[in-house]
Homo-oligomer: A and B are copies of this chain.
Amino acid sequence: MFDPIHLADSVNIDQAWKSLAQVARGQLTDGQCGSLELDIQAAFAADSERQSRYSREAAGLQLDFSRHAVNPALWSALLDLASAAEIKTAAAAMFSGEAINHTEGRQVLHAALRAGLDSRLSDAKFPQKQQIQQVCKRLAVLVEQVRSGARCGYSGCAFTDVVNIGIGGSDLGPAMVTQALTPYHSKLTLHFVSNVDPSHLVNTLKKLNPQTTLFVIASKTFTTLETLTNATSSRQWLQQHAGVDVDLSEHFVAVSSNVEKAEAFGIERDSIYPMWDWVGGRYSLWSAIGLPIALAVGWKNFKALCNGAASMDRHFIEAPLDQNLPVILSLLEVLSVNVLGAQSHAVLPYDQNLAQLPAFLQQLTMESNGKRVDRKGELLARASCPIVWGAAGTNGQHSFHQLLHQGTHCIPADFLVPLQSHNPLDDQHVHLVTNCMAQAKALLFGKSEAEAKRELLQAGCSEQQADLLAPHKVLPGNRPSLTLSFEKTTPETLGALIALYEHKVFASSVIWQVNAFDQWGVELGKQIGVSIYQEIQHRRSNKKSASVFDPSTEALLQQLMTLESNKKDERKPALSN
């Protein structure tokens, strides 16, 4: 039986951390501004097998981490840490349905959503299997009905546009995947509205025809402030165009575990699709939350996405630590944060359709492992999750790569690149791939002052000019990165890629001994937001204060109230095209 609090043997894991630190002291040298670094260039020169030694393959993904800050001694110490942390035991506990989200008393079964009938992942302890199959059938029917025009709007026209209203996990995953699979889209156009800022909804709806717009309202509790206010405003918009007596039920679908609240909003029971306690929001694109994806690319492609993820699930369970892609990515993260002192991690997809991947991984990673206490509730002695950020290449090259190459902070980078394009336009995609290769090469091998000076002299500079300029053109190199390459961004490959990062995050949570599946840190802000809003309503009616906030909040609140009383006429429920 899995013990949710005492995850790994503390003697073993403490020893593994100590060994890692000791090895690091022997292998690393001092860099600029207090950083530590490995001479990766020298490691390449010393080991002709290095590239193949640190390359792996699984589920259609090629991983090359030979450019990262590893060598045999460090890699061995990292594998010992993975072993001491008992990642495999923890993974088995997750897949077998133990309540590993112990602070909420919940199972963690997003992998089961994509397992199909695979018996390794679903057993007698898993009664949810039937529910999953039932909901999949209902979703497949809905997708077919909307895409074929069998389900249509109040005027009898087929839907042309779908607006997904959700936030966080009910937005980032579906939006990222929908964009990533653009080459698989049919005629339906998908839109995503998340922010409570009314501009988000207004800007979206002004381009749309109410007669042909379907809304998907995605909120586990059906009480999320942003989602409910946008859903209410959307219904008003439809009513303004259709008239208040018209039946708009065909225009709304809900994804929620709160059937009563969704029905009370006016959504038909058979248009409500469930969410479950055993699927976390940031892991939910495989559930009914993925409906917008399926509407965009069709049910067959949505299943292919799930199948790709299931391949990675099997790999994560079966492959030994040294061959296990999620474990390897996790160990490189731990190395970066806890040994090299990196506070952030760059994700650089060389694929414009993957432009939203960094934002998706930002939530997946930072909401999961942005924790300061371990599973027992004790303060962590070591840093945990880094900041995840990035942008699609080549765009970043003309923006922040300057700092990647010549800044003073250690920023490990993941380069992701499909070797073939869905849009092979002359050699543009080959330029994309060569740029990706070139950036990783430049980060690692850099340019010395002697090289820089030689180039300057060759270009006609005087000795004095060359001496002045050369230091500015030096790239120190030895900056760690890894490359994930794949043949093409297909549903299967994308599914595997997402599952890879999901399990990487889980593996890191096991090493850091935190619970990756709760998010208690976000509660307080919501509570305070409600109390400030209540106070605003109070002051609007009573003209005096019921509560006094801290001076900084109070100052802004008073600015807001003053502006509001000067411009009362501007607050209105106005939404029309």
**Which of the candidate stretches A81-89, A92-100, A294-302, A554-562 sits at the interface with the other chain?**
A554-562
A137 at the interface (CB under 8 A from B): no
Give the residue name and chain of the B residue nearest to A512 (CB).
B408
Q: Find chain B residues with CB under 8 A from A420 CB.
A: 563, 567, 570
Per the bound structure, the CA–CA distance linking A487 and B518 in Å amounts to 37
Task: Identify A370's interface contact among B197, B403, B427, CB under 8 A.
Answer: B403
CA distance A299 to B97 in the complex (A): 62
Q: Please state if B434 and A529 are interface contacts (CB–CB under 8 Å).
A: yes
Query: Quick one: closest B residue to A62, CB to CB?
Result: B559
Chain B residues with CB under 8 A of A417: 556
**What mask results when residues 34 to 55 of chain A are scored 1 for a CB within 8 Å of chain B, else 0?**
1000000000100010111001
A367 pairs with B403, CB closer than 8 A: yes
A171 on interface, CB distance cutoff 8 Å = yes
B199 and A371 within 8 A (CB): no
Most central of A432, A469, A524 by chain B CB within 10 Å:
A524
CB distance from A526 to the nearest CB of B (A): 7
A391 touches B359 (CB 8 A): yes
User: Which of A404, A476, A557 has the most C-beta atoms of chain B within 10 angstroms of its own C-beta?
Assistant: A404
Give the distance to chain B from A343, nearest Cβ to Cβ, in Å.
Answer: 4
In residues 382-399 of chain A, which contact B (Cβ within 8 Å)? 382-389, 391-395, 397-399
Q: A468 an interface residue at 8 Å Cβ cutoff?
A: yes
**Interface window among A122-130, A326-334, A350-358:** A350-358
Q: Which residue of B lies closest to A197 (CB)?
A: B352
A154-174 residues at the B interface, CB under 8 angstroms: 167-169, 171-172
The answer to whether B226 touches A441 (Cβ under 8 A) is: no
* A12 interface residue per 8 A CB criterion: no
Tell me the residues in window 195-233 of chain A with beta carbons closer than 8 Å to chain B beta carbons: 195-203, 225-226, 229-230, 232-233
Closest to A166 in B: B398
A30 at interface (Cβ–Cβ under 8 A)? no
Closest B residue to A360 using CB positions: B399
Chain A 89-133 interface residues, beta-carbon cutoff 8 Å to B: 103
Q: Which residues of B contact A432 (CB under 8 A)?
A: 195-198
Interface centre among A103, A431, A447, A574 (most CB of B within 10 A): A431
Select from chain B the residue with minimum beta-carbon distance to A338. Answer: B33
Measured CB to CB, the closest approach of chain B to A462, in angstroms, equals: 13
Contact B33 A381 (CB under 8 A): yes
Q: Which of A363, A366, A399, A429 has the most CB of B within 10 A?
A: A399
B196 near A431: Cβ-Cβ < 8 Å: yes
Q: Which residues of B contact A404 (CB under 8 A)?
A: 370, 521
Q: Is A309 an interface residue (CB 8 A)?
A: no
Residue of B196, B394, B426, B469 touching A226 (CB-CB under 8 A): B394
Asked whether A26 is an interface residue with its Cβ less than 8 Å from the other chain, the reply is no
A224 closest partner in B (C-beta)? B398
Binds B, one of A14-22, A239-247, A263-271, A544-552: A544-552
- Determine whether A23 belongs to the interface, using a CB cutoff of 8 Å to chain B: no
Interface presence of A79 (CB below 8 A): no
In the complex, which residues of chain B have a beta carbon less than 8 angstroms from the beta carbon of A27?
none
A344 within 8 A of B: yes
A473, B523: Cβ atoms under 8 Å?
A: yes
- Does A64 reach chain B (CB closer than 8 Å)? yes
By beta carbon, the residue of chain B nearest A341 is B343
Determine whether A575 belongs to the interface, using a CB cutoff of 8 Å to chain B: yes
Partner of A428, one of B196, B387, B526, B529: B196
Q: Known contacts A229-B428, A366-B407, A425-B233: does B475 contact A398 (CB below 8 Å)?
A: no
User: A33, B423: Cβ atoms under 8 Å?
Assistant: no
Kindly specify which of A138-146, A372-380, A494-502 makes contact with the partner chain. A372-380
User: In the bound complex, how far is the Cα of B421 from the Cα of A197, in angstroms?
Assistant: 8
A66, B195: Cα distance in complex, Å: 27
CB atoms of B560 and A433 under 8 A apart: yes
Contacts of A232 in B (CB 8 A): 426
A171 pairs with B395, CB closer than 8 A: yes
- CA distance in complex: A429, B201 (Å): 12
Instruction: Evaluate contact between B475 and A425: CB separation under 8 angstroms.
Output: no
B residues in contact with A528, CB < 8 Å: 437-438, 441-442
Q: Which of A201, A202, A380, A476 has the most CB of B within 10 A?
A: A202
Q: Is the CB of B441 within 8 A of A553?
A: yes
A–B complex contacts, Cβ < 8 Å, 26 sampled: A33-B380, A33-B382, A44-B551, A50-B551, A51-B554, A103-B472, A167-B395, A172-B399, A194-B395, A195-B392, A196-B435, A199-B352, A202-B423, A229-B431, A359-B399, A362-B399, A366-B402, A372-B476, A377-B468, A427-B533, A434-B529, A435-B525, A438-B527, A442-B524, A473-B520, A485-B556
- A-B interface, 5 closest residue pairs, ranked by CB to CB distance from nearest: A370-B403, A168-B398, A377-B471, A198-B425, A406-B521
Apart from A342-B343, A384-B407, A441-B528, what are 8 other A-B pairs with CB-CB below 8 Å? Answer: A33-B382, A48-B551, A198-B425, A226-B398, A387-B389, A425-B573, A425-B575, A438-B526
